[in-house]
A and B are shown apart, each in its own frame.
Chain A
Amino acid sequence: MADDAVPPLPPPLIEMRGIERTYVMGDNLVHALRGVDLTIERGASIAIMGQSGSGKSTMMNLMGCLDQPTRGYYKLNGKDVSRLSRAELADVRGRMIGFVFQSFNLLSRTSALENVEMPLMYQGISGKERHRRAMRAIERVGLLGREHHHSSQLSGGQQQRVAIARALVGEAPIIMADEPTGNLDTKTSYEVMAILQGLVEQGITVVLVTHEPDIAAYARRVITLRDGEIVDDKLQEPLKAAS
């Protein structure tokens, strides 16, 4: 698998080998992933593409430590996370991964600031420090001044920026964005993509999960899944969403 980064001395950020994931659905055994090998280096900009049913959601869930493989192993930052307990997995998520969802998934009737502070609560960080870090994350997504707005008082684009701030606040090295622009119009999509590209420049690994080639065009590396297998893995010059 070609990756034009310097051959790694430290372990790769994400290393998946022989990943299989099967579900039992009624009487049927569903093979969502059928032996996937994938390595992602630090600071990568990568899009995972595929039709619905291709296994890309399963891929994201596994990569985001929300789920565990039936077979194979997954090393995150050199540490095997494929056989951890639910609590250990939650801890890994909190430290390593920030999620951005298509439907934003902000807590309703809760201010932007509190939404951004939330992940830090589970890391046992004190209120004062939570506030300081959350404000910095909100500043990074350009929402300073709106930190006390509730989700219902923010536009879709702004809500997604709050979600990005929440993903950033724990200093996680990986951002997993699942159809981040699926609920946004073209203009705001562009803005959100610009922010995500900005994060890549700051050294954060951004994994886009999408079925839209337009969005995948912003990534440097595009992986295509079909029927639970990687059918294409190519590098490209990413489209610039410069603001």
Chain B
Amino acid sequence: MKVFTTLKLAFRALWRNKVRSMLTMLGIIFGIGTVIAMIASGQGAKEAVADVFRSMGTNLLIVTNGSQRSFGAAGGAGSRFSLTWTDEAALEAGEVPTIRWVTPVLQTKVQVASADANWNTSVVGTKPVYFQIKNWEPKEGALFDEDAALNGPKVAVIGTTVATQLYASSSPIGQQIMINNQPYEVIGVLESKGQSGMGQDQDDVIVIPLKAYTQRIDKSGGKYIPGRGQIYVSVANEGDIQKAETQLTTVLREKHNLGAADDDDFQIRNLAEFALSQQKSTDKIATLLAIVAAMSLIVGGIGVMNIMLVSVIERTREIGIRMAVGAKPLDVMTQFLVESLVLAAVGGVLGLGFGALLAKYMASYYGWKLFFPATTAALAFAVAGGVGVVFGLYPAIRASRLDPITALRYET
């Protein structure tokens, strides 16, 4: 039989039982729909998590001072000065080849004020490469450069939270900001980054040149990088992060003259690792959801099989007639297989639309980017077709195996 004729026949047969066909299709629609929505939103959630960590810094290792132990009581991270400016300079000079960018990041809480408001926020003293590591662009104005970091002019780049708190009505650019009662000029406002992976407001910050910080905010360090001070290390290639961490440890231990038995007097935090574990847990949830959705698709497929079996029994007489006038077993099988295929495919298309709507709704509800990859859609459609064939096969084979004489005698 010709393809077109077979298709027409299938549509006819399904149209004759509109309600039943529609109900059967619902199973497929919900199955495909949820699969699509789950894959799309899983992708969206994953991307959202990745975004958060990307905003915290690219391939970032954070080196901090270690903890001081006095009479067995640990003082906690940063209670001991161990990282020196020489360490930082050595890293910057390229002693660890896998590293791309290095900058000290000194940070403390300060009281700040504009002409008409004041605020308590973090002030960060660093080098301009900090902005590259954090992938941070100015929304307005400009960032300070390498010269500024070394000479320490009194300029400040502020986050959006600080900007709204202090300069509600006018542009902060060129305005004066008081940090620890010393006047600085606001030269730039940073793009908003929102919350960090740890839940901190990343926009509640003021960034000033390193020299300005060490000369005016915290002069305590001397040859050491003071207290809560950190060294941000950005690794060139994502794959080298572990290697870089090991190399970094070796170099720092050497510089600090630590013996084999000594503990590290510094700490290295691996943000990528943390991001990865977060990524993995979102992946796990996404996979779980997709599996549940796939289950509902299987249930839909069983619905198709059920209805096709009923249909074969109801139409036993018809099958007998068709066989009597020359339909081969293969013709009969094809007819029923195409019917279940059409049922599943139409359900698949509708399910695709349903899934897209669901994904769009979820994306806007959770503030994710909408992911609706064409490959997933194509895959879902193929899966729907597959469901039609797999679950239609058994009823179709049963139909084709009917004996024409018995089938003709069948009373409905």
Task: Enumerate chain A interface residues (CB-CB to B < 8 A).
Answer: 61, 64, 66-67, 86-87, 90-91, 93-95, 98-99, 101, 105-107, 109, 118-119, 121-124, 126-127, 166, 170
Chain A residues whose CB sits within 8 angstroms of the CB of B4 once the complex forms:
127
* Contact partner, A86, options B5, B317, B329, B405, Cβ 8 Å: B329
A66 in contact with B324 (CB, 8 Å)? yes
Min Cβ gap B315→A in Å is 9
> Across the interface, do B328 and A87 meet the contact criterion of CB distance under 8 Å?
yes
Binary flags per residue of B1-43, CB closer than 8 Å to A gives 1, else 0: 1101100010000001000000000000000000000000000
The answer to whether A118 and B325 touch across the interface, beta carbons within 8 angstroms, is yes
Closest-CB distance, B333 to chain A (whole angstroms): 11
Q: In the complex, which residues 283-327 of chain B have their Cβ closer than 8 Å to any Cβ of chain A?
A: 317-318, 320-327
Q: What CA separation (Å) do A122 and B321 show in the bound complex? A: 12
CB-CB nearest in chain B for A98:
B325
* Partner among A94, A99, A119, A124 whose Cβ is within 8 Å of the Cβ of B2: A124
Contacts of A91 in B (CB 8 A): 326, 328
Distance from A122 Cβ to chain B, minimum over Cβ atoms (Å): 4
Q: Which of A86, A106, A109, A126 has the most CB of B within 10 A?
A: A86
Q: Once the chains bind, are A94 and B329 in contact (CB under 8 Å)?
A: no
Q: Are B2 and A107 in contact (CB under 8 A)?
A: no
Closest 5 CB pairs of A and B: A94-B326, A119-B325, A90-B328, A122-B326, A87-B328
Partner of A66, one of B16, B329, B330, B405: B405
Give chain A residues whose Cβ lies under 8 Å from the Cβ of B327: 90, 94, 122
Nearest-neighbour CB distance to chain B for A177, whole angstroms, equals: 13
Count of inter-chain pairs, beta carbons less than 8 A: 67
Number of residues from B at the complex interface, CB < 8 A: 23
Q: How far is the CB of A65 from chain B (nearest CB, A)?
A: 10
Contact A90 B326 (CB under 8 A): yes
Question: Do A109 and B5 have beta carbons less than 8 Å apart?
Answer: no
Q: List 13 A-B contacts (CB under 8 A).
A: A66-B408, A91-B328, A94-B325, A94-B327, A101-B408, A118-B325, A121-B5, A121-B9, A122-B322, A122-B331, A123-B326, A124-B1, A127-B5
Partner pick for B408 among A105, A124, A170, CB 8 A cutoff: A105
Contacting residues, chain A, for B405 (C-beta < 8 A): 61, 66-67
Select from chain B the residue with minimum beta-carbon distance to A125: B2
Q: Is the CB of A122 within 8 A of B324?
A: no
Contact call A121/B324, Cβ cutoff below 8 A:
no
User: Is B404 interfacial (CB-CB < 8 Å)?
Assistant: yes
Q: Besides A93-B324, A109-B16, A119-B325, 13 other CB < 8 A contacts?
A: A66-B324, A66-B405, A87-B329, A90-B326, A90-B328, A93-B325, A99-B325, A105-B320, A107-B321, A119-B326, A122-B326, A122-B327, A124-B2
Structural contact, A122 and B328, CB atoms closer than 8 A: yes
Q: How far is the CA of A97 from the CA of B326 in the complex (A)?
A: 9
Contact B321 A105 (CB under 8 A): yes
Instruction: A161 to B355: give the CA distance in the assembly, Å.
Output: 52
Q: Is the Cβ of B404 less than 8 Å from the Cβ of A170? A: no
Give B314-359 interface residues, CB cut-off 8 Å to A: 317-318, 320-331
